[in-house]
Structure 1
Amino acid sequence: MPSSSSPSSLWRDSDFRRLWFGQTASQLGEHTSLVVLPLFAVLTLDAGAGQLGALRAVGQAPVLLLSLFAGAWVDRWRTRTVMVLTDAGRTLALGAAAVAGLLGWLVLPALLVVAFAVGALSVFFDVAYQASLVRLVRRDQLVRGNSALEGSRSAAQIGGPALGGALVSLLSAPIAAASSASFFALSFLTLRRTGRRESLPERSARPPRVWRRIHEGLRFVAGDTALRTVCLASAAFQFSFAAVMTVYLLFLPRDLHLSGTVVGLALAATGPGALLGSLLAARLPSRFGHGAVLVSAAALGDGVFLCVPVLHGSSAVTVPALFTVNFVFGTFGQLVNVTVMAVRQAVTPDGMQGRVAATITFVGMGPTPLGSLLGGLLAEAWGTRTSLLVTAAGMLLSPVLMALSPLVRLGRTLPAPPEGSQHFY
């Protein structure tokens, strides 16, 4: 380990630099593929609304199926091994889709398999890279290390959709898929050169009681009012947002006649908004109260999508309006995300942090495949404009749930974990 605790000492660590570079490349691959695969289906395979909803649902299903188990599984393996294998798998999956697309052999069922494989492997990679940092650097370097890794992730969220849309528009969907695969290949080549041998917890003769630990996390979240509300509000938002995005990705190219490049740039406008939201989150909750900020930010961020269905006319009008909508959504959405994380961490004892995070991810993100399916079905039955209005209105259920709960009364000071909760270890 580096002996100095200065920020530069972290960047002098070659293994950390490899982790950061590999994770950055992987995140770019992941976030470009989130746009490339749906556009591949729409533009190359002429997928309908229901088929696009199914594609997005299949890609999101691994979060529901695997998120509670990924952490327990990764803890028993070297994280470098997990990251390298998942990078290799995603490279092969997207590379095969690109070759099949160029040869005219790709069909929608095969693209569904690719979407599921990429989604499943991404769940394990994301858990592994976070665990890898803890094993790679000293405790006093975790804040700086996390800042670098999460900064890369935010940059990928900003640039990935725009890059994916531009590649599809300028080149073709198969070439764009090959480009996404190349990011995963670059991550594979970088991470496999990490030289430091990780120390693993000693494995006991008996298998760990995974189900018991998962049950404790579920029971703790269900028994805490704030966490229970966060779960319900997150589930309501993610379900409706998944439906919105399915219709949105049909509405922009087909109803507003926007190119893949413009679609990607419009989605990327949430990134700068998220950066602003992070800055606001450092000040507003301590000034106006965490509950008030949560409810008002959720209402503004979710409500702005009601403006999208009314857009008509030339791109000179619609494109700036879309940029504004996505920027506002990114700003207040990130303000909600950061504030919710602070509340969650404050009310959760140290020994439960990982399980509570996994439980909220499972409950909150679990409904997204169903939301994607619903969005596709509504678009087929009612058309994209009406479906956008209905699904965007559904997003407002999240701030309503928070406003009707004790969460809205949280003040400027965050609460402590409940007494007697320390036995959950």
Structure 2
Amino acid sequence: MPSAASAASDSGRPVPPSLWRDSDFRRLWAGQTASQLGEHTGLVVLPLLAVLTLDAGAAQLGALRAAGQAPILMLSLFAGAWVDRWRTRTVMVLTDAGRALALAAVAVTCLPGGLGLPALVVITFAFGALSVFFDVAYQASLVRLVHPGLLVRGNSALEGSRSAAQMGGPALGGALVSLLSAPIAAGAGALFFALSFLSIRRIRGDESTPGRLERPARIWRRIHDGVRCVAGDAVLRTVCLASAAFQFSFAAVMTVHLLFLPRELHLSGTAVGLALAATGPGALLGSVLAARLPDRFGYGPVLVAAAAIGDGVFLCVPALPGSSAVTVPVLLAVAFVFGAGGQLVNVAIMAVRQAVTPRGMQGRVAATITFVGMGLSPLGSLLGGLLAAQWGLRTGLLVAAAAMMSSPAVMAMSPLARLGRTLPAPRSTPPG
């Protein structure tokens, strides 16, 4: 891991005494907060539009969600190779602008005689493609902007803002779709991306100037180096496999869940948004715990326990009755616990991954794990739609929720579970 002196030299400026005194980090944090709020608003607006406005069925909703997740499988590896060669600020501002335009275009599909579900599928695909590049870029940007000793705090701050977005975005999106109009709901998301664009473009950190895009053979070699780095390290390999198990089953869960809430439990769009938004307060708690629990109990035990509790709580949802006084409170409690456990895992595992990864490989390793981990999400979404169509919403949700327990099982049987209170060091110097 680079020393404080080398980190300062790489960034061209002294190491700040506090994370929040670093103006570039503040701009990244503000932009990421706005971007996440726009993304979580959009992630609720798009499927709710399909279900409530365009009357999409289970299979159609599964296809729509798969279209949004397919770019992860198609583009993640290339995104990692390119981000390691570009200024991360450039990548983030361009993708913010593109996602703002994509959400603004949703209004056209909602007008009388509009383009309908096929156009919504195309827009959702474009939205997902741009999000792939933004997510890889912001993770690499944090490593380039902050001192290595502040990575956990930096991740905690960024994940805390994502928690706030998880709380406000779904509630805002559900309320706007239910009470006002789809164009306003989509326009709100577009506005947040515009704010993110304005904040991130003011980052002044001196990143090394990337060269021209390389020949295809060179790009493929860099992609291969990233895959080899993950496959050759036991900790990174486990992170990748656990992420794949979770993302596949969670995509199936959410496809059925978004149908289960309005159609089986008869919740309004506003109630659906609030039920989903309850993950936000839980995630805020998870962010706070992530800065404390690993130092006390060790990274491995915390990761396994948080994943088992956070994922396992979803098994309660299929048993809920519709139109009951306890339905919404239980949904809020489930979402809170899921948010807390999931956020604790996210922050801790990202710190582990960034610590293990050589500095020049951050973008490619993040992209490789995203490719394998979230690349199965489209198949999970399609499977969720199939389960709901063939077995019914309750049974389909129960099977999908049970499958989520495979992720903590992978962690428990791996070297990741034995990590102590100290973050491991990078295995070697990055190739190439």
TM-score by length of 1: 0.87
Following superposition, the deviation at residue 78 of structure 1 comes to: 4.8
Contact 1:10-1:145 within 8 A present in 2 as well: no
Secondary structure of the 1:46 match is coil
The match for 1:237 is 246
State the Cα distance separating 1:138 from its structure 2 match. 7.3
Counterpart for residue 203 of structure 1: 211
Give how far 1:33 is off.
Answer: 0.4
Deviations along 1:276-307, one digit per CA (max 9) or x if unpaired, are 22333334334434333322222211111110
Partner Cα separation in structure 2 for residue 282 and residue 94 of structure 1: 35
Match of 1:31 among 30, 36, 40: 40
Structure 2 CA distance for partners of 1:232 and 1:87, relative to 1, 3 Å: closer
Aligned-pair CA distance for 1:46: 0.2
Identity of aligned residues (%): 75
Residue in 1 aligned with 2:309? 300
User: Residues of 2 paired with 1:235 and 1:329: CA distance?
Assistant: 18
CA contact (8 A) 1:5 1:141 kept: no
| Paired residues for 1:109-124 under 5 Å | 109-124=118-133
Aligned AA (1:422): T
**Whole-Å separation in 1 of the counterparts to 2:266 and 2:370:** 35
Summarize the Cα distance change of 1:40–1:294 in structure 2 as closer, same or farther, 3 Å threshold: same
Q: Partner of 1:314: helix, strand, or coil?
A: coil
Question: Secondary structure of 2:185's match?
Answer: helix
Corresponding residue for 1:323?
332
Deviations 1:342-376 (A, max 9, x none): 43344434443433222212111110010001001
1:205 and 1:110, CA in 2 relative to 1: closer, same or farther beyond 3 A?
A: closer
| Counterpart-to-counterpart distance in 2, 1:258 and 1:412 | 44
Query: Using the alignment, how far apart are the partners of 1:399 and 1:20 within structure 2?
Result: 30
Q: Normalised by the size of structure 2, how large is the TM-score?
A: 0.85
Q: Which residue of 1 aligns with 2:70?
A: 61
Gaps of 5+ in 1: none
CA distance, structure 2, for counterparts of residue 78 and residue 343 of structure 1: 24
2:177 aligned residue: 168
d(CA) in 2 for partners of 1:9, 1:401: 36
Structure 2 stretches of 5 or more lacking a match? 1-11
Match of residue 98 from structure 1: 107
Task: Quote the Cα distance in structure 1 between the aligned partners of 2:256 and 2:213.
Answer: 51
C-alpha change, 1:315 and 1:149, in structure 2 (3 Å) is same
What is the alpha-carbon distance in structure 2 between the residues aligned to residue 336 and residue 297 of structure 1? 6
Matched, 1:257 2:266: yes
SS at 1:336 equivalent: helix
How much is the aligned-residue C-alpha RMSD, in angstroms?
3.1
Alignment of 1:282-361 (within 5 A): 282-361=291-370
Match of residue 269 from structure 1: 278
**Aligned 8 A contact 2:355 2:424 in 1:** yes
Residues 109 and 411 from structure 1, CA distance in 2 versus in 1: closer, same or farther, beyond 3 angstroms? Answer: same
Q: Distance in 2 between matches of 1:114 and 1:297?
A: 35
* Partners of 2:328 and 2:14 in 1: CA distance: 51
Equivalent pair of 2:304/2:412 in contact (CA under 8 Å): yes
2:163 to 142, 148, 154: 154
1:422 aligns with 2:429: yes
- Separation in 1, partners of 2:295, 2:155: 23
